[in-house]
Amino acid sequence: MERKYTGIILNKKDSNEASRIYTIYTLEEGKIQAIAQGARKARSKLAGNLENFILADIFVAKSKGRGRITGAVAEKVFLNMRNDFESLNCVFRAARLLDKLTGIGEKDEKIFNLFHEFLSAVDKLAGEKTGTGELLLRGFILKLLDCLGYKIEANFCVSCSKKLLEKGNFFSAEKGGFICGACAGKEERKLSVTANVIKIMRIALNSKIASLEKLKVSEKDMENMKKITEEFVVWVSN
Ligand SMILES: [Zn+2]
């Protein structure tokens, strides 16, 4: 039986002398793994359409176990970002996280569309302004965690439910959001958060990834946002 998938290549690894195993995030079935025979040969046409982060129509023959890729037609190669180290590095980290946090065959169209949206945004803005890739990556992470059921509460204190004041708030990964200054004393693990980062996170959770590019984010805010998202990722993945 042969199936056609619309998928984005997350990664590939050599299997034996000539073959490669591809991990692909598909629209139809979520993450899948399939093998391409002969893909390591220098003149493999198939391999050219299966480079990392290419969006392609992929044909997979399946009987039992892992499927075998019989054909692939690249639809979008995102060429712009491939020439920009920062952009490519951010995409690598996004793909690694997506691979880590999702299981084989867990279909989720929202996640597929989100990764596609992220790649398009990074590709469009590649090389324009230092730090943009990192900001888009942070937006992607927040939205991915939201899709997986871990949405950060960014409007109310997760401890007392009061509306957050502009200043003096903290983040607690364990509680899944921000806590106000009054409640913070009771928490052991907490990170202080800048007023601007809470705003950026609200926007990230409610708008398209590309819209983050317009925001003014200082270096300090960026570091703060990185710390908070990383802490949340660690908490979610343990
Ligand atoms: Zn509170």
pTM beyond 0.75: the answer is yes
Q: Are residues 202 and 94 in the same domain?
A: yes
One-letter amino acid of 159: S
Owning domain of residue 59: 2-76
Domain end position, chosen among 24, 48, 76 = 76
List the CATH number of the domain containing 35: 2.40.50.140
CA 64 vs CA 1, 151, 168: distances in Å? 10, 37, 57
Q: 166 and 104: one domain?
A: yes
Beta bridge partners of 179: 170
pLDDT of amino acid 89: 97
Q: Which two tokens stand for residue 111?
A: 């996640």
| Residue 58 vs residues 52, 55, 61, 91: alpha-carbon distances, Å | 13, 9, 10, 21
Residue 56 shares a structural domain with residue 120 = no
What is the predicted pLDDT for the residue at 43? 79
Q: What's the pLDDT tens digit per position in 4-44?
A: 999 999 999 998 878 999 999 999 999 999 999 888 887 78
Give the Å distance between the CA of 184 and the centre of ligand 1.
7
pLDDT tens string 179-230 = 999 999 888 888 999 999 999 999 999 999 999 999 989 999 999 999 999 9
Q: Tell me the CA–centroid distance for residue 234 and ligand 1, in Å.
A: 24
Strands 55-61 and 177-179: unpaired
* CA–centroid distance, residue 144 to ligand 1 (Å): 26
Q: What is the pLDDT of residue 187?
A: 80
Model confidence band, residue 153 (pLDDT cutoffs 50, 70, 90): very high
Q: How many distinct structural domains can be found in the chain?
A: 2
Residues 57 and 171 in one domain: no
- Whose tokens are 């982060």? That residue is 53
Domain termination residue (choose one: 59, 76, 93): 76
CA of 229 to the centre of ligand 1 (A): 21
Do residue 41 and residue 113 come from a single domain?
no
Q: Please give the average per-residue pLDDT across 107-113, as a whole number.
A: 98
Ligand 1 centroid from CA 163, angstroms = 8
Which of 76, 103, 137 finishes a domain?
Answer: 76
Residues 211 and 101 in one domain: yes
Residues 55, 26 within the same domain: yes
Helix/strand/coil percentages in the chain, nearest 5: 40, 25, 35
- Of 5-14, 41-50, 132-141, 158-167, the least confident: 41-50
Tell how far the Cα of 192 is from the centroid of ligand 1, in angstroms.
14
Distance 178 CA to ligand 1 centre (A): 8
pLDDT score at 38: 86
Query: pLDDT tens digits, residue range 36-95?
Result: 988 888 778 888 999 999 999 999 998 777 899 999 999 999 999 999 999 999 999 999
How confident is the model at residue 18, as a pLDDT? 86
153 phi/psi in degrees, rounded to 5: -80, 120
